[in-house]
Structure 1
């Protein structure tokens, strides 16, 4: 059974080596869409061709991050590549099973064998807790142990699926794959999210680099505070209010519904 991560990047060199290595170690393949990156991301990706990365294509950058177009392209790719499992994946994510010793491929295969064709992920957001902390150039999974469980609404991350027909990634802005006869696994998997690796990275990513489509922001209501990032409102949470999942387990008893680095 093939499981293919559909990964789009624009200037994600900080994450890409770690992301591609993890996918390969977890038994997954990857297809990459490069949104005209200006960093070393494409060079890093090319080194992984034939080592789990099955293809790279270029997607034009029109002066803003065309999320709608990228989601449409991912849905078309899933139809073009065939009847397999797919994950709508970002470079700043690490996906895994909650069961120690079980690979992501094994967890998805178990869901498939049980009759499911879609899987939800529990999102844990790992962040620096001090402005002097900088995980760039490190194994950021080891460097950033503190996280919060993020659940602004139910079924927040139904982003793995197997569907022979068309899949809709647009209705929920990429957070939920919609298709007829969707059978959701009762056992969600884990998504580690590392949206930024230092305070200066946060300011660069959302304050200067990332630009969004006016149509997506105004007409579709996508991107939230990311589209109007105000550094004066951003804050880093204190470690006392967070959990350390690798020590405490994947606790979901204190869900957060907003990101402090965007909304204070």
Structure 2
């Protein structure tokens, strides 16, 4: 296996580190947006937000970071349905129009981290770039509450919610960083999970880490997914969104702590024996 770690020191010393821009779509993410942005800014990643006409304080919170890592924002119309394909196609347009060396595609309920031996996402991306790779996958670690600790719907959720399971139903699963191409950079065809270029996609064999805060309490899951309406074409023709359109919020029960894993630091996240289905899928019909 290629070892990106051999390039860590060089990447850290390089004053010409790549400009990495994360394109973030949001819709009523006031609980998550500040933590997501601050994590990216700490690691040298700039952010452009495409807000899907949030009705809460998402955009107000995000705009506080204008000039401090947030390079721009826009409002994308919401017609009462969650139109994921249209949002992904807008991201593809932004990949072409924004100035960057690398792009990231992510959601507000995600915390992206480099491999454990790196100090930042930018330094790890620089190392992958130096080795000739143009796409990077993230290992997903899905964080959910348990019966013993059922409610983490608070600003300190990253500190209090420590129970998770590794999730990897396909391989590759979450290709989320891409080197800017002269031609199209397409992600809508895959629902945002993979990328397609005119030339070859050279995927780094070293996966980054992604902490996905799927829900913070049973009540939060009901709010987050229960009121979301999906385009029938995406559900029926494209097969997207999985269990989400069929979730029965009133039936949700939490796992026992023994059914999931517990982390004390980000460096002990374990991707072995990943789950093939999310916990909430059992409450969908």
TM-score tier after normalising by the smaller chain length:
over 0.9
Q: Deviations along 1:45-92, whole A, 9 cap, x unmatched?
A: 111111100000000001111100000000110001145211111000
Distance 1:234 1:257, change over 3 A: farther
Unaligned runs of 5+ in 1: none
| 2:86 corresponds to 1:41 | no
2:91 to 74, 81, 90: 74
Q: Deviations along 1:158-200, whole A, 9 cap, x unmatched?
A: 1110131201112210111122211111111000000111110
Cross-structure match for 2:191: 173
2:203 to 177, 181, 184: 184
Do the aligned partners of 2:21 and 2:100 also contact (CA within 8 Å) in 1? no
Do the aligned partners of 2:135 and 2:201 also contact (CA within 8 Å) in 1? yes
SS at match of 2:243: helix
| 2:258 corresponds to 1:258 | no
2:226 to 203, 207, 211: 207
| 2:244 corresponds to 1:226 | yes
Cross-structure match for 2:10: none
TM-score, structure 2 length as denominator?
A: 0.88
TM-score, structure 1 length as denominator?
A: 0.95
Do the aligned partners of 1:124 and 1:192 also contact (CA within 8 Å) in 2? yes
Hey, what's the Cα distance between the residues in 1 that align with 2:148 and 2:163? 14
Measured after TM superposition, the shift of residue 131 of structure 1 is 7.9
Hey, what's the Cα distance between the residues in 1 that align with 2:76 and 2:174? 24
SS at match of 1:14: coil
| Counterparts of residues 84-99 of structure 1 (less than 5 Å) | 84-99=101-116
Do the aligned partners of 1:123 and 1:192 also contact (CA within 8 Å) in 2? yes
Cross-structure match for 1:114: 131
Bigger mean CA deviation after superposition, 230-239 or 1-10: 230-239
Unaligned runs of 5+ in 2: 1-17
Do the aligned partners of 1:98 and 1:250 also contact (CA within 8 Å) in 2? no
Hey, what's the Cα distance between the residues in 2 that align with 1:96 and 1:75? 23
| 2:195 corresponds to 1:198 | no
Bigger mean CA deviation after superposition, 128-137 or 115-124: 128-137
Alignment root-mean-square deviation, CA: 1.6
Measured after TM superposition, the shift of residue 217 of structure 1 is 0.7
Hey, what's the Cα distance between the residues in 2 that align with 1:253 and 1:21? 29
Hey, what's the Cα distance between the residues in 2 that align with 1:9 and 1:47? 15
